[in-house]
Amino acid sequence: MIEVKWDLLDPEIISRQPTINIGVIGQAGCGKSTFMKAICERAQLERIVTMNLAFANAKIYKCENDECPPPLCYKAYGSGKEDSPLCELVGFQNCRMKLLRHVSFVECPDDLNILMPMLITSVPSIQGVLLLIDANERFPQKQTSDFLAALKAVGLNHIIILQTKVDSIKESIAMDRLEAIKKFIKRRIVGEAPVLSVSAKCKYNIEDVCEYIVKNIPLPQHLVKRPCVSIFRSIDISKPAPEIGETKGVVFCGSLRRVNQMIEIGPGIVDKDENGEIKCTPIYSKIVSLYSEQNELQYAVPAGGLIWIGTTLDPTLTNADSLFGQVLGEVQFLPRLFCKIAVGVQMLEERTKLGRGEIVKLNIHSSSIVARVCQASGEGGIVRLKVKSPVCMMQERFAISRNVENQWRLIAIGYMRGGTTVDGEKIYPPHIRRLGWNL
């Protein structure tokens, strides 16, 4: 894959598409959705029910007059806002504002058993996190420690803490709790994480959050030119009786594609041949439209937000979200399809390991796949897994869960080290070949 430098502040790009993803995390009911709706000026969020995620985009501006006082010189609007609106602050209403960021906020699940695997596979594309704490709840809460531990474990360091719903409690109580949160955070986080009070209902302090996002959360680095994208959702938008020549559309979510580009989707149609061997037939199509929320794009950079990709695919292929979890990319540039994988395993609890024959669940990008441990070695925690259905390995790191009392519990982080492709090719580095396994 070729690494290219995109200018993620290029006005032409951020005018239409987010170039940074920020996770919104917090316990159930702490105000995540309401905060996102307030900062993104949305009545509804875009929900990916299968993954328990919700998305919304916001543009963050700063007044171009240096005398306009912070934080009020910052302002967030919805994704459709013009590029240089007038400042709304009294005394500066003749001044233009400059677009500094176009952010995609991602509301994450509050259940750690779902959140952690999601973070493990998504962290390369999430640059920072807003951690919300409900001002109505006594502090400290166990969940806050758990969330902080989870963020540390996955290496998410750019965190902004928000005490939410401060309009609903007495100011003195809100101040005391804010101090308690600040002390607690200082002990738990190496370095400083900003702690702010907000009210989404009253739109209080949203400007402060905007300033901290611009100053504290860096834009993504290391974007690759030919990335593949995970399909989060596939739907049929064709009318019941399309007229001749009308495009039948199927919409996906992902990144970096351009209109008129030919695409390939893998594993595609998975079937068994006459000998009972698994057979994968990739699906080919063409992009006819790209959207980021309501903004139509000619091309999408591999950096932020959900991108809706309209294609010429036969809509029957996408029934019941059936392409969810598959990988979409440029023709002939999809990652290899594996049926067995060799994995470096980092167990999350000491003195535990994976046993031969054990059934585990892997979360790899948007897909979750069941696998069986077919070989395990004491050396460096390498295991070999046979996946139940072929997997298109587009990233190195993924989550491994074990079934405990009928619930999948995250137990390890897996790192792809090699494997056997569906065509029978064995791609293993020397240190795995030396284990003497029957590969």
- Which residues of this chain interact with ligand GTP, rule CB under 6 A? 26, 28-34, 110, 164-165, 167-168, 199-201
Q: Which is nearer to ligand GTP, 177 or 361 (CB)?
A: 177
Instruction: In angstroms, give the least distance from the CB of 34 to Mg ion.
Output: 8
Secondary structure (DSSP) of 34-76: HHHHHHHT-SS-EEEGGGTEEEEEEEEEEES-TTSPTTTTEEE
Residues 374, 386 contacting (CB under 8 angstroms): yes
Q: Which is nearer to Mg ion, 209 or 250 (CB)?
A: 209
**From Mg ion, ligand GTP, none, which one binds at residue 358 (CB under 5 to 8 Å depending on kind)?**
none
Instruction: In angstroms, give the least distance from the CB of 168 to ligand GTP.
Output: 4
Instruction: In angstroms, give the least distance from the CB of 32 to ligand GTP.
Output: 4
**From Mg ion, ligand GTP, none, which one binds at residue 41 (CB under 5 to 8 Å depending on kind)?**
none
Residue 397 DSSP class: E
Instruction: In angstroms, give the least distance from the CB of 114 to ligand GTP.
Output: 12
Distances (CA, A) of 315 to 48, 236, 415: 19, 5, 35
The tokens of 229 are what? Answer: 């994208």
Q: Which is nearer to Mg ion, 32 or 101 (CB)?
A: 32
Residue 33 found at the interface with Mg ion (CB under 5 A): yes
Instruction: In angstroms, give the least distance from the CB of 166 to ligand GTP.
Output: 7
Q: Which is nearer to ligand GTP, 36 or 362 (CB)?
A: 36
Q: Which is nearer to ligand GTP, 37 or 101 (CB)?
A: 37
- 210, with CB counted inside 10 A (0-12, 13-18, 19+), is buried
Instruction: In angstroms, give the least distance from the CB of 398 to Mg ion.
Output: 26
Residues 22, 129 contacting (CB under 8 angstroms): yes
C-alpha span between 284 and 313 (Å, rounded):
8
Residues β-bridged to residue 134: 164
Q: Cβ contacts of residue 176 below 8 Å, gap of 6+? A: none
C-alpha span between 18 and 256 (Å, rounded):
12
Q: Which segment (25-33, 365-373, 380-388, 399-407) binds Mg ion by CB under 5 A?
A: 25-33
Q: Which is nearer to ligand GTP, 199 or 318 (CB)?
A: 199
Residue 27 found at the interface with Mg ion (CB under 5 A): no
Measured from each CB, the residue nearest to Mg ion is: 33
What is the binding site for Mg ion (CB under 5 A)? 32-33
